[in-house]
Amino acid sequence: MSAHAIAHEAHGHHEHADPGFFRKYLWSTDHKVIGMQYLFTGMFMAIIGGFTVYVFRMQLAFPGESVPGYGYVNATAYNSLITMHGSIMVFWVAMPVLIASFGNFLIPLMLGCDDMAFPKLNRLSYQIFLLSALVVLSTFFVPGGAFGGAWTSYPPLSASAAYNATPWGAPMWLIAVILEFVAFLLGGINFVTTAMNSRAPGMKMFDVPIVVWMIVLASLVFMGSVGPLVAGAIMLLFDQLIGTGFFNPNTGGDPILWQHLFWFFGHPEVYVVLLPAVGIVAEVMTVFSRKKLFAYRTVVYTALATSVISFFVWAHHQFIAGIDPRMAGIFTVTTLIISVPIAEMMFVYIATMYGGSIRLATPMLWALAFIAEFLIGGVTGIFLGASGADVYFHDTYFVLAHFHYTFFPIAFIGTFAGLTYWFPKMFGRHMNETLGKIHFWGTVVAFNAIFIPLFLAGAGGDHRRIFDYSAFPELASLQPLRQIATIALLVLIAFQPVFLFNFFYSMFRGKRATANPWHANTLEWAAPSPPPHGNFPEMPVVYRGPYEYSVEGREDDYWPQHVPPDDVTVDGPVEAPVAAGGH
Amino acid sequence: MSSSKPIATTRSVMNLPTGRLALWWVIASEIVIFGGLLGSYIMFRLSHDAWAEQAAITSTLAGATNTFILLTSSLSAVLAHQAAERGDGPRAAKMLRLTVLGGLGFLIVKSIEWTGEIQHGYTITSNLFWSFYYTAAGLHGLHVIAGMICMLIVARAAARNQELQRVEIVGLYWHFVDVVWIFLFPLLYIAK
């Protein structure tokens, strides 16, 4: 195998002519470049989302005091800040990084293609996404400030500028969200089509790496759930701008309708971002346990089950919104059922590690932390999914802490696992392990120190949507918990420059990586690091599943998918590489 | 960047042309968008009997005329596909342009109809029925316009015998636009 890899390295072909910075990085149709565009845009948006949370957590811990780097926070600004934190982190960080960035980078490489099925559509998808990001960022500077109706945008608060006090921010937020959805619909269609139709010769459905399965299923769930919200967003936009009354009870409309349209998308959305993270963890787990993934097909089937059930749980967000109690009963049952396939996946991962030779490199630490932390998020979800308990917990910090125990592992821990694992492939260099571990421990410990106090505060009755708790003397005893959470947040933020430094320094100065530094099986490691335009010097052919680690009777403890079985000799590539060189 | 396609585009593991496969997914995602809008409309309609009086005002004649125009235009889209299958690009282009004319006729009837209704005071803000009426038909109208633009682009290449496989794909999209109208027509016009 190693000889094979070296041959590939030596082969590494270069561009015939330098296409220039603009064409190469900004106008490229290359899936890897587009993946990087999504990644860097997402990282930038994460910094904005992080800044907003810093400001409003400071206000909550030390009400009425000037926040360093921002100033005094008034009630309207507070609303804008929490709205932007939620929407940016979900729509402009988790979505682009987990689905679009990893999807773009990994799908063609892992399926043995030279690019996506529709490269120009892919470029268009990023451009629309970038436009949506610019629109949402520009709302910080419009009259009235950024939208202040919370990321769930419930009418009548969101429908009328008289209530949300953000006459420009509200419609612009909706336009940005619609644009973002269009971008991900285009991207998702591309992902699904590529995965269905463009796999390497020999790669059957159950030879596809789990992470690709997960991104494709996530794209399908997104495609199936976002439509009603697109329609709802258009209706809400008309309510805001031309005075229709779709969600206005005075004209016969119904504000609860928005909640249904929103959560019909909003709950599957959790699984849209969860599945790619779970897929990333599967890849990392097997490679660093040197063991075959336990029950590959079970993982695929449970992911399918999760995808289907995720369409039938949405009304658990509305237990106290006045829905029929009989309906609440049904949604309690479906919500508790969906924890079964997710728990099954967690068991599968633990079983994968059992008896393996585990290496605690940084990506593996992140993968382990994902399971530990997401488990807390999942278990606390049981309390909220049961309609009886939810009546008490609804709109408290308990919900908020639960939500962050699911989303932080997904959007950050999962992403860090993926980035530290695929970094050598993306940039051809290694990240620093020591810095990686410092960042890991700082982040994970601080994360728990933020949200465990918030669980307690929520159970103590702390309501979510309050800007200044000094007006509520009965909640004053919870102030120390709020302060602990804010201080832990400052620690968490203080550790992130370690990652950014490690990331950008290693990109240029890190130790050079070979084609397959982790000794992994999947096809992306058959390409040089970083892969050139067209990815593979010779288009790979697949002979086996992606997780053949520690196979008995083999000298190496890994068996890459593209290496022919010992008794077969191949005369040459099945597909001539000429077409790939035609660019 | 050369115009040569990546290998990924030319592969066909599912034995389906990649373009057609992608278009099915486009249609799937569009169905959910219209499904959300029309589902909301139906839920409201069921609990608002008074909307029947509003629906009685709509012009079933204009709606029926448009149904006829749109369905007829699908015939030329099918003929374009047939010509493309035979490799007759110029004829496919001609048929596609004929389909575009059909779409144009649809839009003309629609604008005459809407002008009359707005002049009689039935605007998008009159009440919830008219809000749905203009939103749903307007969203459909945007799809008609998008389909016409796509057909003109495909026709230009087809006239030079290029990318003939696209004729079928744009035709499929046009049929989808038809089907949406077939749902809109009874929901907005006929159900009194």
Average pLDDT over residues A242-260: 92
Could you give the CA distance from residue A288 to residue A457 in angstroms, rounded to a whole number?
38
CB–CB contact B40 A235 (8 Å): yes
* pLDDT surpasses 80 at A580: no
Instruction: Give which of B10, B29, B45 to mutate to test A binding, by max A Cβ within 10 Å.
Output: B29
3-class DSSP state of A49: helix
Split at pLDDT 50, 70, 90, the class of A568 is low
The C-alpha angle with vertex A211 and arms to A439 and A575, in degrees rounded to 5, equals 125
Question: In the predicted model, is pLDDT for residue A17 greater than 80?
Answer: no
Q: Which helix (H) or strand (E) holds A394?
A: none
Mean pLDDT of A426-450: 97
Contact A264 B36 (CB under 8 A): yes
Q: Around A259, how many Cα atoms within 13 Å sit in the side-chain half-sphere?
A: 19
Residue that the structure tokens 């909003």 belong to? A266
Nearest by Cα to A39 from A112, A111, A92, A117: A92
Q: What is the pLDDT of residue A143?
A: 94
Closest among A186, A179, A192, A199 to A139, alpha carbons compared:
A179
Residues β-bridged to residue A558:
A549
* Per-residue pLDDT tens digits for A309-357: 999 999 999 998 988 889 999 999 999 999 999 999 999 999 999 999 9
Q: Chain A residues with CB inside 8 Å of B34's CB?
A: 227, 231
Least confident of A110-119, A562-571, B150-159: A562-571
Give residue for tokens 């003397």: A473
Cβ-based contacts under 8 A for chains A and B: 148
B-chain residue closest to A184, CA distance: B29
- The answer to whether residue A457 scores a pLDDT higher than 90 is yes
Average pLDDT score over residue span B85-105: 96
Hey, of B2, B4, B10, B11, which one would you mutate to test binding to chain A, going by the most A CBs within 10 A of its CB?
A: B11
pLDDT of A559 above 90? yes
- Confidence at residue B5, expressed as pLDDT on a 0 to 100 scale: 85
A225, closest residue in chain B (CA to CA): B32
C-alpha gyration radius of chain A = 24
Query: pTM for this one?
Result: 0.92
Confidence of residue A394 (pLDDT cuts 50, 70, 90): very high
Say if residue A18's pLDDT is above 70.
no
Q: How far is A330 from chain B (nearest CA, A)?
A: 20
The domains of chain A are located at 25-581
Test B4 with A582 for CB contact under 8 angstroms: yes
C-beta atoms of B44 and A254 within 8 A:
yes
Spatial distance between the Cα atoms of A84 and B153, rounded to a whole number of angstroms = 40
- The answer to whether the Cβ–Cβ distance between B37 and A579 falls below 8 Å is no
Measured CA to CA, the distance from residue B174 to residue B148 in angstroms comes to 9
Q: Mean pLDDT of all residues in chain B? A: 93
Split at pLDDT 50, 70, 90, the class of B48 is confident
Per-residue pLDDT at A195 exceeds 80: yes
Question: Which of A122, A244, A541 to mutate against chain B (most B CBs within 10 Å)?
Answer: A244
Domain boundaries, chain B: 19-190
Is residue A185 scored above 90 in pLDDT?
Answer: yes
Nearest to B128 among A119, A190, A245 (CB): A245
pLDDT above 50 (res A575):
no
**Chain B residues whose beta carbon lies within 8 Å of the beta carbon of residue A257:** 40, 43
Q: State the pLDDT at residue A576.
A: 41
Give me the CATH code for the B19-190 domain, please.
1.20.120.80
Q: Are A310 and A132 in contact (CB under 8 A)?
A: no
Across chain A, what does the average pLDDT equal? 91
Taking the C-alpha atoms of residue B86 and residue B100, their distance in angstroms, rounded to an integer, is 21
Q: Which residues of B touch A190 (CB under 8 A)?
A: 22
pLDDT digits (tens, 9 = 90+) for A471-487: 899 999 999 999 999 99
Evaluate whether B41 touches B132 at the Cβ level (below 8 Å).
Answer: yes
Q: Do the Cβ atoms of B35 and A582 come within 8 Å?
A: no
Contact (CB<8Å) B135/A234: yes
Mean pLDDT, range A252-277, rounded to an integer: 95
Whether B1 and A19 lie within 8 Å, measured CB to CB: yes
CB contact under 8 Å between A19 and B128, yes or no, is no
What are the residues of chain B with a beta carbon less than 8 Å away from any beta carbon of chain A?
1-2, 4, 6-14, 16, 18, 21-22, 25-26, 28-37, 39-40, 43-44, 48, 124-125, 127-128, 131, 135, 139
Q: What percent of chain A has pLDDT over 70?
A: 94
Rounded (5°) CA angle A456-A372-A292: 165
Angle of helix B89-119 relative to helix B128-159, nearest 10 degrees, comes to 160
Contact A231 B8 (CB under 8 A): no
**Contact (CB<8Å) B11/A198:** yes
Picking from B3, B26, B32, B184 by the largest number of A CB atoms within 10 A of its own CB, the best residue to mutate is B32
Would you state the pLDDT for residue A567?
Answer: 60
Closest residue to B7, CB basis, from A196, A257, A539: A539
Q: Pick the residue of B13, B45, B132 with the most A CBs within 10 A to test the interface with A by mutation.
A: B13
Among all residues of chain B, which has the CA nearest to that of A539? Answer: B7
Read off the tokens for B157. Answer: 């290449």
Question: Is 60 exceeded by the pLDDT of residue A45?
Answer: yes
Encode pLDDT of A482-527 as tens digits. 999 999 999 999 999 999 999 999 999 999 999 999 999 999 999 9
Encode chain B in three state secondary structure. Answer: CCCCCCHHHHCCCCCCCHHHHHHHHHHHHHHHHHHHHHHHHHHHHHHCCCHHHHHHHCCHHHHHHHHHHHHHHHHHHHHHHHHHHCCCHHHHHHHHHHHHHHHHHHHHHHHHHHHHHHHCCCCCCCCHHHHHHHHHHHHHHHHHHHHHHHHHHHHHHHHCCCCCHHHHHHHHHHHHHHHHHHHHHHHHHHCC
Question: With an 8 Å Cβ cutoff, are B30 and A227 in contact?
Answer: yes
CATH code that applies to domain A25-581: 1.20.210.10
Using CA coordinates, name the residue in chain A closest to B35.
A228
Q: Give the model confidence (pLDDT) of A373-388 as tens digits.
A: 999 999 999 999 999 9
Structure confidence at residue A25 as a pLDDT band (50, 70, 90): confident
Pairwise CB contact (< 8 Å): B131 & A229: no
Q: In this model, does residue A579 exceed pLDDT 60?
A: no
Q: Which residue type occupies A375? A: L
Per-residue pLDDT at B2: 41
- Of residues A16 and B10, the one with the higher pLDDT is B10
The interface predicted TM-score of the complex, written ipTM, equals: 0.94
- Segment B3-30 shows an average pLDDT of 90
